[in-house]
Structure 1
């Protein structure tokens, strides 16, 4: 039986991103005395917000921008006695997004199995029925995943022994044994359909050829459930999490960097658990200069990058994972982000826009290829990056993100996870040469493919982030933008565990642990920490207060 937390149990949460805030809210709701320690000026982590005093009226999200899996958000809020409708003002995007296939006309992507099937049939004879079957199966697999494989700590074999899993075991094994690329290709021939169904691999920080076909369930989230937008952007999501924390007495130590997790000899009967965490040592930035502090804790929850947690905050003998392990980890993709303010309207763009190269295998090769240059090469001109690009025009849906007569653009261009590629100009006076070059190239690409010939001259302000920024600001492994790729060996129970194997009261949450990357997964990882801490070994979402 799950046990309750003792009232007043002291818990330090390292990191104030989505996973940190969600963990803090859930644990405080169960009676714990929670303190969130974060290096930033405000909580949010990678889900940041940018406003510029010199350019009033512009506002950008600097991280997540696709609101998918609304059921995961709703369930999380219900655990805290509230709901999406009470916390956020949502807009259903119609169309969900616009595709810009290279050398072809733009395509608006609708929502719902039948609407998407009709679109597929217009592209390829017979593809309509195949799309109905593809999306129906994606929905079934999505439900199995939610009930058995996401909301679990994998401390027992129970998730695999449920009748629904046993009944569909052959199918699940087939999907695990194929790549998303091969699964899509065997069903569809049209390039536009193939790319539409393969692109969710990027949401999983990977590429279609290395992501298991099981993840075709992602098409259920964007094509069937549909794409939503919270008014205020993801900053509104962060504000709701902060509000829920404050209502439960969570305290925050901001501008404070954790230096180490302190420990003593283990109290556990498990011989593998060698230590017991006693709190954290940290450095707080004050007007009078840095100040060393110690925070006592009965439990520590680290929601920062797992590599940083293990390699920088723990001594070698207390690490679950060592350097040898991390050398084998696929860090996933990184990105160059461009936050641009544009004068005049941009009717050519929808809220979400995807620009796909016809031969996008080359794009994924660029993102996967290690950063190296031959002698005599211009390192800037030979910087590898993808020519398949994501552009968000949030001003299409929310009018106060840009001054009157202007548009707001958020551009994500995938690049290799390597901080040597450089930094942007958001946290530095000037961007690195490679990041500046990529920014110029992506503006030219959007201008040409969306037929906006004067786009460059209309940009009044642009701020950028690069892989080095993700490392500097968030201790991101290899400067990755999202988290480790969801390859077969980095999914489910193969992914970072919720609990340390060496420190009996140290827990992990966030994109680098189970179940994976993305805001909904971070909310689920917080629930899994609560489960692990209270001995709840069930699979599936916890019952909410109303249940």
Structure 2
């Protein structure tokens, strides 16, 4: 028998789940608290400038393709992809940067010019990373995190040692140049933890980077949001914005629906793609599966200080994506994970979508997105935001040899307090819960409530973890779990 399903939130995982559940024949409605869909992947427009407010890296194109293939569609039915070359640039100092190009052979050549013998080592390293990618992305991450047995296969048994070493240790055994080490450690930061705390098996992120490349949807990541929205509506999904959930109603340990603006909305199934911790606060205490003590004990991925900036001229000496590693990489990690505080000298990331997409800024101008990773839960105010904007702008001007501060038309900041206000994010985290060894697969919060029947969860705080491709997978996993429960 088909069900009426209420989905909380409209991020990637919720949109994906809605598509799968509607395909099963269910009546599906998405309720989004904000006035635009997409969750962290919302879009912001001002004075002819367009910005993706969250995810800006399109990695693992095969996962996106697999999602649309599940509906007998292709990504190019909905949006066009551009492969970036260079994929990104990494700045280490004045006149000291490294371009990461769009193919492994060119990257090997770059490595070899910096550290003799490293080109061949990189080839071997990426070959192993591809093997892990094939095991993880084509199989393991499509398991629902119910049991430890899901991780036990012939392939993972042969790689068991990689779960007890770290990405950082493995890289440092093979490479000596600190700049190359930092480039190789960078991709696992998408998993939300330090490379020294991330199991070696996760080096498959290096294959996602160097092997599969960095792409850009023609007019931004919101193209993907629009695509899944279109697919969802084609499948019959209804989407309601400005609909903030006040309570999840439970009777006799079974959810019966939700309350919005004081009005009860009946549902056979309630699925939350919103922040997991926040969702449980919508339940009476006795129905919550995880205590405050549990959440306090988890390792969370960083929050972020973001700036969306409009410039009245073209910016020079910069690529679409750029990383600024001209300060102490390890100290910034300490300031996020070990001794949470505002970093004295932060690493930062800059993204200029108008380098690729002419619609992102008016002619002759540039749209810039800047990000500083921060510890979740720290103090956030306007004076701190302004102080750190000046810090990174001074460094940006010096490292790219140009003046740009006087060319700023406008800027908008977004930080921890905004993540709490707009997304109900626990401690203002930006990326969810880190994928450390003790927070992997079945050790993450469950897709299915342990205390309330017909209540489910999806997204970055459950399996498989943080990132856009994992969010799409999470939506599929929870939809399959719900379908399975119909049959039992």
Q: Whose helix fraction is larger, Structure 1's or Structure 2's?
A: 2
Residue equivalent to 2:175 = 188
1:340-489 paired onto structure 2 within 5 Å: 340-370=309-339, 383-384=342-343, 387-418=346-377, 420-422=379-381, 432-452=382-402, 454-489=403-438
Residue equivalent to 1:10 = 4
Distance 2:375 2:148 in 1: 36
Paired residues of 2:463 and 2:474 also in contact (CA < 8 A): yes
- After the TM superposition, which of the residue ranges 519-528 and 151-160 deviates more from structure 2? 151-160
Paired residues of 2:95 and 2:399 also in contact (CA < 8 A): no
* Aligned with residue 111 of structure 2, among 120, 123, 126: 120
Alignment gaps of 5+ in structure 2: none
Residue equivalent to 1:262 = 249
| SS of match in other structure, 2:197 | coil
Residue equivalent to 2:266 = 296
Relative distance call for 1:410 and 1:385 in structure 2 (3 A) is farther
Distance 1:258 1:456 in 2: 41
Q: Deviations over 1:143-197 (max 9, x none)?
A: 111233200113355533433333x2xx3x2221122211111110111210111
* Aligned with residue 282 of structure 1, among 228, 247, 260: 260
Distance 1:47 1:38 in 2: 13
Paired residues of 2:349 and 2:370 also in contact (CA < 8 A): yes
Distance 1:105 1:370 in 2: 30
1:198-347 paired onto structure 2 within 5 Å: 198-265=185-252, 275-283=253-261, 292-310=262-280, 312-347=281-316
- After the TM superposition, which of the residue ranges 457-466 and 147-156 deviates more from structure 2? 147-156
Query: Are positions 1:38 and 2:32 aligned together?
Result: yes
Residue equivalent to 1:3 = none
Alignment gaps of 5+ in structure 1: 1-5, 266-274, 284-291, 373-382, 423-431, 537-547
Relative distance call for 1:210 and 1:161 in structure 2 (3 A) is closer
Residue equivalent to 1:376 = none
Distance 1:203 1:156 in 2: 25
Distance 1:482 1:385 in 2: 22
Paired residues of 1:419 and 1:471 also in contact (CA < 8 A): no
Relative distance call for 1:112 and 1:396 in structure 2 (3 A) is same
Aligned-pair CA distance for 1:238: 0.8
4+ residue runs over 4 A deviation: 369-372
* Equivalent pairs, count: 485
Paired residues of 1:339 and 1:464 also in contact (CA < 8 A): yes
1:22-37 paired onto structure 2 within 5 Å: 22-37=16-31
TM-score (ref. length: structure 2): 0.96
Distance 1:451 1:294 in 2: 59
Distance 2:273 2:459 in 1: 5
Distance 2:203 2:179 in 1: 16
Paired residues of 1:385 and 1:413 also in contact (CA < 8 A): no
Distance 1:179 1:145 in 2: 16
